[in-house]
């Protein structure tokens, strides 16, 4: 992908780096030329079915429990338009531009594989609004993650019809006006096209990908802050010895132990207590970091594999197989793989925050850390990090509730035709709240660990960690006396959530993306 010149989408062959790039910024999109013959063949198969006159679900019948209702050919365009209008029932805040970009991209990729029976016009119009920076206004709530993400994808489809509102440059405008200004003609949907647009798992998958990319940043930041806390607490790096982890064999554990060894290598603080330290073992939140964060890393990589498959998948219904002329009703719209992936990711995000909160508690406790109580001089007059830890504890506890699996729930819909659903869309949507909670916790730990390192001056930490410390201190000064603390926490949170914390040691995390 080339952000300045755009990139070419090859249906079914998107990479995680492609998806990360679309999530992080907008660039022009072109569909590979070789996709068009397949798309046209698929659309022609639908036209042939209509001309033949046999009943085919979603082409010339009603939907869901109304599938037995035959629709006259003269009303097929009306059927598809009504489908989009009636299914546009979303509510809540609008999804972010980053998430909507992923939704549109994946819908284009899915339709362009040639199993959905839509004309090139539909795909080209989606690409046109994407390239024009026209973002469909999609409410976040209203999908159960089966029969497709019907409501959110219907709101996406309104945009190419010139109905409802869209965002342009962050402002809500009428879709019809936005299309006109961009020179894009609204589409009139033909047989099957409305159903192809709203069936699919693209919304839940986009939300889960958003959660995945946030989790990757949190994992990196959590490892960096954990290493800084180790030095602040004068912990031992012996538990990171490669031999310990090799005999267990867990790949994430082995990889993260190596990251910790490199992060703390060369620390003068560590060297200062190699001899004469009476402590035999550190608390688990320091000692067991590779075991916990390595397991988190393994979960994140497993989720990435599932979501990459789903991002390239064809998940609408029914599917057209042009080589035989068959139209087959199946259930690829059922988002159970995404729901399981999102629930797993919730566990990972919660545990990054839970471990970080325990290290904050350790650092502020003078009996455990050997540092001044609550990491501030003149304790009593100054409360220091006392209540910052309370904030971290509150958010860690909130994440425990949010981590409850969504995929184990199901409410039947459509008069029991859709009698088991995945709840994948909520499963994925709640990851953003969890990630923001964890980014605050890790941000508070960053502040606390940097404070602890400052109390050890003139001894220096390792080269990597001194770089992280300096990066923070350019934004947040040493906490010498009580002050308005919330801005400091917000600054540290932003460093975590934007991926800035690991920017100076990115090469250490290459194995996360392999």
Task: Classify residue 186 by its DSSP letter.
Answer: P
Alpha helices in 265-335 (DSSP H): 268-272, 284-287, 289-311
**Nearest residue to 492 (alpha-carbon basis) of 513, 459, 461, 469:** 469
**Alpha-carbon gap, residue 243 to 337, rounded angstroms:** 36
Per-residue 3-state assignment (H helix, E strand, C coil) for 364-417: HCHHHHCCCHHHCCCECCECCCHHHHHHHHHHHHHHHHHCCCCCCCCCCECCCC
Helix or strand holding residue 30 (H, E): strand 29-31
Find how far residue 40's CA is from the centre of its chain.
33
Please give the structure tokens belonging to residue 34: 């070789």
What span, in angstroms and rounded, lies between the C-alpha atoms of 385 and 388? 5
Q: How far is CA 464 from the centre of its chain?
A: 28
The catalytic position among 57, 130, 260, 464 is 57
How crowded is the C-beta side of 297, counted as CA atoms within 13 Å? 26
- CA-CA distance, 401 to 277, in Å (whole number)? 40
Asked whether the beta carbons of 233 and 282 are under 8 A apart, the reply is yes
249-254 CB contacts, 8 Å cutoff, 24+ apart: 250/291, 250/294, 250/295, 250/298, 251/294, 251/298, 252/293, 252/294, 252/295, 252/296, 252/297, 252/298, 252/301, 253/290, 253/291, 253/294, 253/295, 254/290, 254/294
Question: Are 469 and 268 contacting, i.e. CB atoms less than 8 angstroms apart?
Answer: no
Question: Is 57 considered catalytic here?
Answer: yes
Residue 308: closest CA among 434, 206, 197:
206
Within a 13 Å sphere around the CA of 316, how many CA atoms are in the beta-carbon half? Answer: 31
The helix/strand count (H/E) of the chain reads as 20, 9
Beta bridge partners of 382: 379
Three-state DSSP class for 504?
helix
Relative orientation angle of helices 486-497 and 424-455, to the nearest 10 degrees: 120
Q: Say if residue 422 is exposed, middle or buried (CB neighbours under 10 Å; 0-12, 13-18, 19+).
A: buried
Question: Which helix or strand (DSSP H or E) is residue 8 part of?
Answer: strand 7-9
Catalytically active residues are 57
């Amino acid at each position: 992908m080339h952000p300045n010149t755009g990139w070419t989408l090859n249906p079914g062959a998107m990479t995680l780096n492609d998806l990360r790039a679309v999530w992080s910024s907008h660039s022009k999109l072109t569909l590979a030329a070789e996709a068009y013959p397949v798309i046209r063949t698929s659309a022609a198969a639908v036209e042939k079915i209509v001309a033949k006159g046999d009943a085919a679900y979603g082409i010339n019948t009603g939907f869901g429990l109304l599938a037995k209702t035959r629709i006259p050919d003269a009303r097929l365009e009306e059927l598809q338009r009504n489908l989009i209008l009636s299914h546009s029932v979303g509510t809540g805040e609008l999804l972010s531009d980053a998430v909507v970009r992923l939704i549109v991209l994946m819908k284009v990729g899915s339709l362009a594989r040639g199993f959905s029976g839509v004309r090139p016009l539909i795909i080209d119009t989606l690409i046109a609004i994407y390239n024009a920076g026209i973002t469909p206004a999609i409410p976040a709530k209203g999908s159960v993650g089966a029969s497709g993400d019907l409501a959110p994808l219907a709101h996406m489809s309104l945009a190419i019809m010139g109905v409802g509102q869209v965002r342009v440059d962050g402002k809500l405008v009428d879709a019809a006006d936005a299309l006109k200004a961009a020179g894009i003609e609204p589409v009139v949907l033909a047989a099957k096209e409305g159903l192809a647009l709203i069936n699919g798992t693209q919304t839940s998958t986009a939300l889960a990908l958003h959660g995945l990319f946030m989790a990757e940043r949190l994992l990196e930041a959590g490892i960096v802050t954990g290493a800084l806390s180790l030095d602040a607490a004068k912990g031992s790096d012996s538990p990171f010895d490669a031999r310990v982890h090799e005999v267990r064999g867990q790949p994430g554990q082995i990889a993260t132990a190596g990251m910790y060894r490199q992060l703390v290598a060369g620390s003068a603080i560590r060297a200062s207590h190699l001899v004469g330290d009476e402590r035999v073992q550190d608390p688990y939140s320091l000692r067991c970091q590779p075991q916990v964060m390595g397991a988190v890393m393994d979960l994140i990589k497993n989720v990435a594999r599932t979501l990459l498959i789903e991002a390239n998948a064809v998940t609408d219904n029914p599917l057209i197989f042009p080589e035989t002329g068959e139209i087959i009703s199946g259930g690829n719209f059922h988002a159970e793989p995404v729901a399981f992936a999102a629930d797993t990711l919730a566990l990972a995000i919660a545990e990054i925050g839970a471990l970080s909160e325990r290290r904050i508690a350790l650092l502020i406790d003078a009996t455990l850390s050997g540092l001044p109580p609550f990491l501030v001089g003149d304790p009593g007059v100054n409360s220091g990090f006392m209540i910052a830890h309370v904030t971290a504890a509150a958010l860690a506890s909130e994440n425990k509730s949010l981590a409850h699996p969504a995929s184990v729930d199901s409410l039947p819909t459509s008069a029991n035709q859709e009698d088991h659903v995945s709840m994948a869309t909520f499963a994925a949507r709640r990851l953003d709240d969890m990630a923001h909670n964890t980014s605050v916790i890790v941000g508070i730990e960053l502040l606390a660990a940097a404070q602890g390192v400052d109390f050890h001056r003139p001894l220096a930490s390792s080269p990597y960690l001194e770089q992280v410390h300096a990066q923070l201190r350019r934004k947040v000064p040493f906490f010498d006396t009580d002050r308005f603390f919330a801005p400091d926490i917000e600054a540290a949170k932003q460093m975590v959530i934007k991926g800035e914390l690991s920017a100076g040691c990115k090469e250490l995390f290459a194995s996360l993306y392999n």
